Structure 1
């Protein structure tokens, strides 16, 4: 997130493998172009005889008329704002890197960077290719890890736990104690769902027939990522059901609360 906090803008929660350098280059380029426009507007009006105060007011009014749609003082994280931004203000809402990165290839963006001597169209195109490759590689590596964790870690632990519960319930039943098998059925259902989703994810990772890099990125964003989230959903649910002694990975409780 990039928030305005009263007297400044700030980047929040930047990932350990990420850098704000690229976004800062873009923002400074945009700022430089805007300041150039403001200076040209003021100098042009003053040269024609206008006093500086009226020139400033006219320039500010033109700025607000052209770009006032981006000004918003409410909750920038709310769904209502996202809907308003697109439907009422006509702003673009690029939700994923797969949506945002192709902007680097748009003519007006290339013209902006080129006229200020920041990056040439060739340099922007090369950055697009690099960023796209990094995005695809990161998603696919993480997805393969999700499949591996589900198959080789969580599945065996869940099966072992189901076996232990089943044996215990059978033993208790033979001694006249009935506990019911609802929990057994619930865990089995969660495991079955996780296995189904991880199988779909594994199959999706075998697809490589993409006509363009953009198509490949969209596949990662719209197909791979949602499948990863679905596998995680059932894995998280199993984490809350399986014995700590059998769970193969650090739990949220251990990572967040146990020193």
Structure 2
């Protein structure tokens, strides 16, 4: 077949190229609608080129209008060709489907907004909610500092994604689990539990599970974190505030557990 639109139109018809430009649809679409009998042209030039009459153009305009509402081609054919077709009903049905898609997209947009916000600032909680959940000694600046320090890491991305989906009630449960763990660690140290014992190892595993609410904590990462608990002034102040010497005791417990799993604490890295 010669290229579409290469012949001059007859006085009473438009070529495929002209119709394409007028309606804003592709030549390929017009060919397809002709092939399936949805909107065939009424005429042909002597050279075999398609020619569309004013009536053809009117039908095509309706096809385009219905297609823009989201109706499928088979449904459009029924609307155009079936005298008994309930056009308003078809359009109302399509309107309902569009409304449902809009609602889903709005939910998606809201979720994306939460994800972006969580990546920027961590827990999506007001300062008042943070104080209520994490205690009066908590400062929202800690999260901003963590974002500045760890924002490019996989762990921050996990933390942000989990934060975006977490409600204040769920954050309350996380905070309660951390507080309970602190108490259990202090009780174990008070009771003379030896690092490397089954009881100490169970607490080390509990620590990994509790902090898994923030991000996946591997054993080598746990070793690094326990060292930070002991050496970092802020972390050490927290744990030694729960019980003097607790940061050092917990670091020894994590080291002993790591060795039991074939990990050398002295060479462990954050991975």
Q: TM-score per shorter chain, which class?
A: under 0.3
The structure, 1 or 2, with the larger RCO (C-alpha pairs under 8 Å, 6+ apart) is 1
Of structures 1 and 2, the larger Rg is shown by 2
